[in-house]
Structure 1
Amino acid sequence: MEEDECLAEFRVRKCDLPVLADVLMIPDKFICDQRSVVGGMEGLCMLLKRLAYPCRYSDMMARFGQRQVPVLSMATNCVLKYIYDRHHHRITQWNHGILNPAALQTYADRIHQMGARLDNCFGFIDCTVQPIARPGTDQRTLYNGHKRVHSLKFQATALPSGLTGNIYGPVEGRKHDSGMLADSNLLSVLEEHAISPSGQRMCVYGDPAYPLRVHLQAPFRHGQLTPQMQAFNKAMNEVRVSVEWLFGDIANYFKFMDFKKNLKIKLSSVGKLYVVSALLRNALTCLYGNQTSQFFGLDPPHIQEYFS
């Protein structure tokens, strides 16, 4: 394959595929449930091809040596499960590699230099609605009235380096953002770990849906706002938009997640697909950067460092 062709089909440059396979610790081969054997690199490319665009398995047969549709399906799910089981803790739990005290201080300093009024804010929190196909059961539970779509929801923390620092979910689509915050136990984790090297308490910044806490700040929203309050809200909102860019990056790079008719709960692992897509997006950010890292002028860590 040509370099541009590989980048278009797999979202990864040809020379970087071995690097990605190495940090993900992809084995030499995958053995599917019905004993079909797929090479490690081949299986990784199958998953990347599937996520890159909402293609059918039959459309992938020509690329992967005329392998049959059932083999392509089982191999893709096998690689998805392997990556999730092996690496999901890097994004679903507190990652000390990118969320250590020194790193938190670096993030906060950069956000403050970009005009934010808070000098101890190291990231931004928000929830995203992931549309899915209309389910046969539990339709009321999964229906999001605000977006008017059946969905799953995820809560994510965005960092100025362009990485998704933490993600929680999936939960049912009708769940409120504040309810997700309570279920995720993020405030307790922040209380334990979000401390700068000098002992200052660090915080994340969210939209008006979130409560005001020591480790969670939100805009002024009650009563008559003074000019100073309005200026605070404006300055913080100008940098908080980066969390929306990260959600957009996942959908833009892995467009399979933007095709809700193929996201059928109880028939496919929609939650795992989204978490693995976010993890792979972090890997691509380490390799190539993204809009958020360019906006803040803060380079992401090396991919070997992120997966160490």
Structure 2
Amino acid sequence: MAAARRHRCEEIIDELLVLEEGQDDVEMFLMDTFSIGRNLHNVPVDLNVFSNEECLEFFRFAKHDLTRLHCALSLPEKIVGYNGTSATSMQALLILLRRLSFPNRLCDLVQFFQRDEPQLSIIFNTIVEHIHREFGHLLTSLDLVWLDPVMFAAAVHNKGSLLDNCWGFIDGTTRSISRPHTGQRIVFSGHKRTHCLKFQSVQAPNGLIAHMFGPIEGSRHDAYMLSESQLLPKLEQVQNGGQVMCVYGDPAYPLRPELMGPFKGAHLTREQHIFNRSMSEVRVCVEWGFGKIISLFAFLDFKKNQKLYLQPVAMYFLVATILTNCHTCLYGSETSTFFSRATNT
């Protein structure tokens, strides 16, 4: 019995020694990994090492389309931050897309791009500012070459709408943010019960977002956001031979010739119920537009990392909207599919 107990004690000691050696190996591995992430800088990411499937997963665009996107955005040869930190424009674009595509932290991207966290942050914010500065006007003007209100109105009408001059749909959305240290009340939405920023979108039937305005404080009403956006004068200019074309919104918006909404009240006629239902079935596409932005760029949905006074969180959302429009041009969307079945376009 004593010999067996002694033998068992020796086995336990051997196991502890093995575990201790294993722990040392793990610690050394972690130290090596940490040092690699901090010591290797300016190593360009070679797009050719990724498969097409990996590009779609990591960057939301196919490999050959990343080159097309890079060309369409007219990026300079290098992206240079405020402190001289630089990267090739393709590497900066990959950092942007990888960062937005998933709610990851900067430390999670250190090994992926072989750059430390401050460099990644500077490059990411610099290319965001560049895209917003160069292409932000595409979200604030309705003078767009692709906007065809007559064709869009026909597509909406063919899907069951009782309006024959409705070419788009308007709605607001709230993007939750981390609770700020100051000014909490003004960004708190009592309706949504969260701290947030608000944006207003006009969705076209071809899947593209024609107008995106924001940010507005979360405590504001959609009608206030409409007034601040100065959208109504722009909508008045969208006509068809003198006929006013309109967009359709929910009951929060005022009624105008260029902005229609559902019938209100508890006692509606049968015809009014039919009108409201027919328009509701097509107006849902504006929610699909918001949903696509978040499904492509899930980083925007991670509110703990949307810090109002530390990051340009509104600019992140606007740039993601521009990239989403690019994605729709290449691959289509649920909205374009929904309306193309009626028009075959």
Q: Give SS of 2:112's match.
A: coil
1:98 aligns to 2:149 (yes or no) = no
1:216 aligns to 2:269 (yes or no) = no
Q: Give SS of 1:252's match.
A: helix
Counterparts of 2:145 and 2:102 in 1: how far apart (Å)? 31
Q: What one-letter code is carried by the residue in structure 2 that aligns with 1:242? A: C
**CA drift at 1:59:** 1.3
**CA drift at 1:67:** 1.0
| 1:160–1:298 Cα contact (<8 Å) kept | no
Larger RCO (alpha carbons 8 Å, 6+ apart): 1
**Residues 298 and 69 of structure 1, relative CA distance in 2, 3 Å threshold:** farther
Q: What one-letter code is carried by the residue in structure 2 that aligns with 1:87? A: F
1:62 aligns to 2:111 (yes or no) = yes
Q: What one-letter code is carried by the residue in structure 1 that aligns with 2:139? A: I
Counterparts of 1:223 and 1:284 in 2: how far apart (Å)? 42
Which residue, 163, 169, 177 being the options, matches 2:214?
A: 169
Moved more, 23-32 or 233-242: 23-32
**CA drift at 1:57:** 1.3
Counterparts of 1:3 and 1:105 in 2: how far apart (Å)? 38
**CA drift at 1:143:** 0.3
**CA drift at 1:97:** 1.4
1:78 aligns to 2:122 (yes or no) = no
**CA drift at 1:203:** 0.2
Which residue, 63, 71, 77 being the options, matches 1:28?
A: 77
Deviations 1:138-193 (CA, angstroms, capped at 9, x unpaired): 111000011100000000000000011001100100110111111111111111x2
| 1:30–1:39 Cα contact (<8 Å) kept | yes
1:128 corresponds to = 173
**CA drift at 1:93:** 2.2
The correspondence of residues 270-281 of structure 1 with structure 2, limited to 5 A, is 270-281=313-324
Q: What one-letter code is carried by the residue in structure 2 that aligns with 1:297? A: S
Identity between Structure 1 and Structure 2 (%) = 44
**CA drift at 1:285:** 0.1
**CA drift at 1:28:** 1.0
Q: Which structure has the greater CA radius of gyration? A: 2
| 1:133–1:150 Cα contact (<8 Å) kept | yes
- Structure 2: 5+ residue stretches without partners: 1-49
**CA drift at 1:96:** 2.2
Counterparts of 1:278 and 1:143 in 2: how far apart (Å)? 23
Q: Give SS of 1:61's match.
A: helix
**CA drift at 1:92:** 2.0
Q: Give SS of 1:141's match.
A: coil
RMSD: 1.2
The correspondence of residues 155-234 of structure 1 with structure 2, limited to 5 A, is 155-191=200-236, 193-196=237-240, 198-222=241-265, 224-234=267-277
**CA drift at 1:232:** 0.2
1:296 aligns to 2:335 (yes or no) = no
- Structure 1: 5+ residue stretches without partners: 300-308
Normalised by the length of structure 1, the TM-score is 0.93
Which residue, 236, 240, 246 being the options, matches 2:289?
A: 246
Deviations 1:23-82 (CA, angstroms, capped at 9, x unpaired): 100111111222122001000000000000011112112221x11111111000010000
1:305 corresponds to = none
Counterparts of 1:38 and 1:12 in 2: how far apart (Å)? 20
2:17 corresponds to = none
| 1:161–1:298 Cα contact (<8 Å) kept | no
**CA drift at 1:223:** 5.2
Which residue, 15, 19, 25 being the options, matches 2:68?
A: 19
1:303 corresponds to = none
